[in-house]
Amino acid sequence: MKHHHRNPRARGGRKRQSARRDPLIGFEAPVTIEQVGARGDGIAHVSAPDGRSVLVYVDCVLPGDEVQVALRSKRGDGYGAEVIAEISRVAAFNEPRCAHFKDCGGCALQHMADDQYRDWKRDKAKVAVQRAGLDADEAEQLVAPVEVSPPQSRRRAGFAVHVGATGVHVGFHGRFSHTVLNVPDCAVLRPELMAFREAFVRFLEACPPDEARDIKEVFVNLADNGLDVVIHAAKDPGLDMRQDLAEFAGDIELARLSWKSGDQPDEPLAARHTPLVKFHGVDVAVPPGGFLQATREGEHALVTAVTSALERIAPRQVADLFCGVGSFTFALALAGKRRSVLAVESDPRAVELLQYAVGQSGSPIQVVKRDLFRQPLTGDELGSLDLVVFDPPRAGALSQAEQLAVSGPEWIIAMSCNPATFSRDIRVLRNGGYELEQVVPVDQFLWSSHLEMFALLRRK
């Protein structure tokens, strides 16, 4: 019987051909590292067998290093390469501070001398300023020295979890890999987080393997009064697992332990007390997995930059956009002379907790729930303000920046954890008549390529 509904262009029985292997994968060559790129990897060029000059990215090297590399994977416009032999190293090469450095994907620059590392981070900030439309001399004058958080200061982390035939792995993904590496010590994280990781490994080793295998990640926040932990898993825990986790949380004195299955809301399984952080003398509760600045030192540097600007501006009406649970809100309202603050955030839990803290403290703050990506503050709402502060997620604040460029107040403080979107948003504001007055780079992500930036702008 003929199948008249069959696609006449289909070629039945023809086998799909496998993708052709890249002939450069596995190619080996000596290279001299030219510079450190934006992601912290070394950049060099090699001559391919066909005579082409090929861009390669090499981990754990410094400018001037001569190394033999093997090309391992296609990466953007070039190839990721692995060092297979060292020919010569520059004098500035430091012994890494961590035994997992070359394998773990968390740090990229532990081998860089401290002064060179600070210069590299400041250069990264200067590049971001130049991409916003300023020249190199202006960037050099505007960008302050980098505020660097010390080792073992990071207070939040997401540990990847894998339980399988090779045992329990709680740590971080390998460099450009999905493999979970056990990291029994870490030069970046607070000791409290590492002590939790060790206890959690022992807990998982004692669990039935089928139940432990469901756990994919555990997120840990160090609040001022203890650890707040959220376990991310494939499905809900059974009764025995709930009881075991409650006992585990009590044994190691967690402030709170919650469980999150897929896209479902997190469920508290044990809570000795509510995790709290103090902002300008006001205690604020943190939701499970809630956002905190990565280090207390970094938060202090940003708050200091904000309060110093307040002395110069002397505003009366302020808006704090993308405010979270109030990292800067209370400093804006209470530092020096009290001033009215409109605090805007889209996360309903953060809004609720911030409203409660405001009510308890009697601060002159109005908290509003609003999605600023879809509903940025516009004309009349911006017209009554003296200062707008915004600290958005990595995606930046393009819609809000466009409104500020048209109707914003005299002063703006912009903060960002992504130099790329920082450049874009600052360029929009400059096109609207604002000028950069100050830029402070804050490094809360030690030995990584990430960088936080503070900028003060004024409409001339």
Instruction: Give the C-alpha separation, 233 to 381, whole Å.
Output: 42
Segment holding 218, helix H or strand E: strand 215-223
Catalytic residue among 98, 104, 186, 417: 417
Helices 419-431 and 398-407 meet at what angle, rounded to 10?
A: 20
Determine which helix (DSSP H) or strand (DSSP E) holds 158, and give its type and residue range. strand 156-164
Q: What DSSP assignment string belongs to 222-244?
A: EETTEEEEEEEESS---HHHHHH
State the residue for tokens 């309202």: 333
β-pairing, 180-182 vs 66-75, is unpaired
Q: Is 64 left (phi over 0), alpha (psi -120 to 50) or beta?
A: left
Nearest C-alpha neighbor of 433 from the set 399, 452, 407: 407
Distances (CA, A) of 244 to 77, 387, 394: 50, 50, 37
d(CA 131, CA 396): 15
Q: What span, in angstroms and rounded, lies between the C-alpha atoms of 30 and 162? A: 37
Structure tokens at 298: 């970094």
Does 186 participate in catalysis according to the annotation? no
Q: Is the dihedral of CA 109, 113, 119, 122 positive or negative?
A: positive
Token duo for residue 242 = 């709930």
Name 220's Cβ contacts closer than 8 Å, sequence gap at least 6: 156, 157, 158, 159, 193, 196, 197, 227, 228, 229
68 phi and psi angles, rounded to 5 deg: -95, 130
Q: Which residues pair with 285 in a beta bridge?
A: 276
Q: Distances in Å between the alpha carbon of 64 and those of 33, 91, 149, 215? A: 5, 9, 28, 44
Give the separation between CA 371 and CA 375, rounded to whole angstroms.
Answer: 6
Active site residues: 417
